């Protein structure tokens, strides 16, 4: 379908999207991110809540930005926030780990061990089922996106930083640094949400305020793990 330009194609895919299987949705999104006109129809559907923005993976968002269309890029930035191109090195790492995961005999790896890795590394920011806290993006139900969704976001967390999850850094006039997610703002105060509390800072006490283009998740999260531990964590995240 991506080979042909017709207004009927994006309309047909979008109208049926929520009735499609996960594999069919992925195929549909590959079509909808292949042409600027299709991409704009997709972004209209996201804006109208016909398709949830969480249905679109980091890979597909990057594909949208590679269309080199100013209107698409502007709307992608407005919906998903900061984005950057993934380096060739990280693309190779993602491809390599996806291949390893798909070829591994997952029956030999412990999902319960993966859950313990999640509690140790991820639960301070993410919630998956009954585990964790809701500071970063909710992961419950994310298994439907497949292994590449997790690899893209863990290996290259700064490629696509959701507008709701960009860090705000505030330095007060007395030298305190407050960093976290924007929790609210009035004419006189700014409220920052950290992993443990909400901090309200009077605006007349702010010396510097900036919105970071970095993700709240650090890079290299998997690098500190043994290969077996990596597979156990990925098995738990994907529900395999």
Q: Parse the chain into domains and list their residue ranges.
A: 8-80, 88-161+217-238, 167-211
Whether the per-residue pLDDT at 88 is higher than 90: the answer is no
CATH architecture label of 167-211: Roll (2.30)
Q: Give phi and psi for 52, each to the nearest 5.
A: -65, 140
Task: Provide the greatest CA pair distance for the chain.
Answer: 61
Mean pLDDT of the region 121-145: 87
Reported as a pLDDT band with limits 50, 70 and 90, residue 10 is very high
pLDDT tens digits for range 151-182: 988 998 877 777 777 888 898 998 788 888 89
Nearest-10 Cα torsion for 123, 127, 132, 135: 70
Higher pLDDT, 77 or 152: 152
Q: Is the pTM of this model over 0.85?
A: no
Q: Give phi and psi for 207, each to the nearest 5.
A: -95, -35
User: Is residue 184 helix, strand or coil?
Assistant: strand
CATH of domain 88-161+217-238: 1.10.760
Say which residue the tokens 């950057």 belong to. Answer: 84
Whether the per-residue pLDDT at 92 is higher than 90: the answer is yes
pLDDT tens digits for range 177-201: 888 889 999 999 999 988 778 899 9
User: Is residue 216 helix, strand or coil?
Assistant: coil
């Amino acid at each position: 379908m991506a080979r042909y330009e017709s207004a009927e194609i994006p309309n047909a895919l979008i109208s049926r999207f929520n009735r499609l299987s996960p594999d069919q949705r992925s195929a549909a999104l590959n079509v909808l991110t292949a042409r600027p006109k299709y991409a704009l129809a997709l972004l209209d559907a996201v804006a109208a809540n016909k398709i949830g923005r969480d249905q679109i993976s980091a890979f597909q968002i990057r594909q949208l930005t590679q269309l080199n269309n100013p209107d698409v890029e502007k709307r992608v930035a407005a919906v998903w926030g900061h984005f950057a191109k993934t380096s060739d090195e990280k693309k190779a790492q993602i491809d390599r780990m996806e291949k390893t995961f798909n070829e591994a005999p997952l029956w030999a790896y412990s999902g319960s061990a993966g859950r313990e890795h999640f509690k140790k590394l991820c639960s301070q920011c993410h919630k998956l089922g009954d585990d964790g806290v809701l500071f970063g993006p909710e992961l419950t139900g994310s298994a439907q996106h497949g292994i590449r969704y997790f690899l893209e976001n863990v290996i290259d967390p700064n490629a696509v930083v959701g507008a709701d999850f960009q860090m705000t850094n505030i330095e007060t006039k007395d030298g305190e640094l407050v960093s976290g997610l924007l929790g609210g703002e009035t004419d006189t105060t700014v409220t920052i949400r950290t992993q443990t509390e909400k901090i309200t800072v009077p605006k007349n006490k702010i010396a510097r305020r900036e919105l970071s283009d970095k993700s709240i998740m650090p890079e290299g999260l998997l690098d500190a793990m043994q290969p077996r531990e990596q597979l156990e964590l990925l098995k738990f995240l994907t529900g395999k």
